[in-house]
Chains A and B, each alone.
Chain A
Amino acid sequence: MPRIGIISDVHGNLEALEAVLNAVQADDVESVIHLGDLVGYNANPRECLHLVQERGIASVMGNHDLAILEPQYAEDFNILAYQALHYSERQLSIGDKRFLEDLPRSDLLLGTYLLCHGTPENIGSYILHAFQAKRVFNLLQKSYVGVRACFFGHTHIQRVWMRDERGRVSSPKATNGSMAMENGKLYLVNPGSVGQPRQGDKRAHYLVFDADSGIIQFRAVPYDIGKTQKRIREAGLPEYLALRLEDGV
């Protein structure tokens, strides 16, 4: 069974994506999977999309990817995200948009692991709080029998939610960035964000999953934030999108 690199929320940050892909290579993974949102926020959506294509990285669709295809969907975005999405839209060719269009809303990995951006049923919903995790666990039990874990993105924060045999939902902390899935339990796992981490750590985040042992290793690598900020400013994107990268928010 393979070791898999799982990344999410690249959001057009080329320097972060390159740093993560280099690091993932050193992690000796067999393949890399992306959980959506290639575009938006940062200045290089086209280059990131092409790099993902070149490397043959399987991806699901994110809410920003969807908003490129269906502009009315972006009306509910906040003003910073909205401005950046318009920039992304202008950078992409028809072929690039077709690539986004072909992305599935969710996918199944090895028949046991569900992949999605927000939640399995809603590309824009968040799993940030226990009540939201409980709702998704209920959905998995009802509609995705046999699924052991769901890997999701969207929140830009590395986190695990676990439902035990008695139905209790908790968010266990990884020890030294690592944790093992236990039999009989259900998991929701977020690798954090490559291109715009929001957990107070400015490094690019991802995880390595060993499907054989069920071990998840959370990772973070530094990248050239100054270069990314320069590109954001040169593109005329909102200044705050450059500043927030420094603080990891």
Chain B
Amino acid sequence: MFGSKKAILKDGIEVTLQPMVKEDEEALYHFFQTLSEDQLLTLRHDVKDRNVSRDWAAHLNYARVLPILAWIGGEIVGDATLHRISYGWKCHIGIVRCVVAPKYQDIGLATLMLNELVRLAHELGLEKLWAEISLDSVKAIRACRNAGFTCKAVIEGLVKDVRNQNQDILIMVCDIPAFFDRQWDTHNQC
């Protein structure tokens, strides 16, 4: 796809980011098969079921959910989504979700995708981004911190892990105007 955004990850691998289109269904399904049981449990849908990715591809609605996919060598290796609330007291808040293939973790891909979502959220007029992360997911917390999120709350024992044990959830929030304002001031003086 022309104009796709490319970046070099920490290990020198080139990754391409682009918004999901309906033709990505098959590749997305294969990506989900690479996820670990722990990762799958954090998702809201049974993505190993082919019908899930088929349904998503058939009913893309960027105004509601904007998915950004990361591609390496013809395979999807990461999926970051910006979920928007169309009405009410939370309509200025976007919810972000991000999942990266185990093989491509720890090389800055999640941070790269989250940064992309922050830029998009700013253009779409959102003021806050909200992320829910397992308190034990040090890598995910680091990625969010690197993308401008700060820790706001811990809800103890809220969710269940694969062993049916209760786990703590960390709420992280990115204040978009403050973060974006700082970013432009430091990088784009003219």
Taking Cβ atoms with an 8 Å cutoff, the residues of A that contact B are 63, 66, 73, 76-87, 105, 118, 121-126, 128-129, 131-132, 198, 236, 238-240, 243-244, 247, 249
Knowing A240-B19, A249-B125, say if A125 contacts B120 (CB, 8 Å).
Answer: no
Q: Does B143 contact A (CB under 8 A)?
A: no
Q: Which residue of B lies closest to A88 (CB)?
A: B3
A-side contacts of B185, CB under 8 Å: 122, 125
CA A84 – CA B190 in complex, angstroms?
23
Residue of B nearest to A129 (CB): B177
Contact assessment for A85 and B184 in the assembled complex, using a CB-CB cutoff below 8 Å: no
Top 3 A-B pairs ranked by shortest CB distance?
A86-B3, A83-B3, A78-B119
Measured CB to CB, the closest approach of chain A to B30, in angstroms, equals 22
Give, as a whole number of angstroms, the nearest-CB distance from B5 to chain A.
5
Contact across chains for A78 and B120 when beta carbons are under 8 A apart = yes
Q: List 18 A-B contacts (CB under 8 A).
A: A63-B188, A73-B188, A79-B5, A80-B19, A83-B2, A86-B3, A87-B3, A105-B190, A122-B184, A122-B190, A123-B190, A124-B190, A125-B188, A126-B181, A131-B181, A132-B177, A132-B181, A243-B63
How far, in Å, is B10 (CB) from chain A's closest CB? 17
Q: Hey, which chain B residues are within 8 Å of A118, CB to CB? A: 184
- State the interface size on chain B (CB cutoff 8 A): 30
Assuming the contacts A86-B3, A122-B189, A243-B62, asked whether A79 and B183 have C-beta atoms less than 8 A apart, the reply is no
Beta-carbon contact of B125 and A79 below 8 Å? no
A83 to B123 CA separation, bound complex (whole angstroms): 15
Of A76, A78, A238, the contact of B187 (CB 8 Å cutoff): A76
The reply to whether A83 and B4 form a contact with Cβ atoms under 8 Å apart is yes
Set B1, B21, B177, B188: member contacting A76, Cβ < 8 A: B188
Assembled-state Cα–Cα distance A99/B3 (Å): 23
Query: A-facing mask of B86-121, CB < 8 A → 1, else 0?
Result: 000000000000000000000000000000100110
* Interface membership of B124, Cβ < 8 A: yes
- CB B78 to nearest CB in A, in angstroms, measures 13
- Whether B17 lies near A79 (C-beta < 8 A) is yes
A65 to B188, CA, bound (A): 14
A77 to B3, CA, bound (A): 12
Q: Which residues of B contact A198 (CB under 8 A)?
A: 125
Which single residue of chain B is at the shortest CB-CB distance from A123?
B190
> Contact: A122 with B19, CB < 8 Å?
no
Assembled-state Cα–Cα distance A63/B189 (Å): 11
Complex contacts, B51 vs chain A, CB 8 Å: none
Task: Report the minimum CB–CB distance from B140 to chain A (whole Å).
Answer: 21
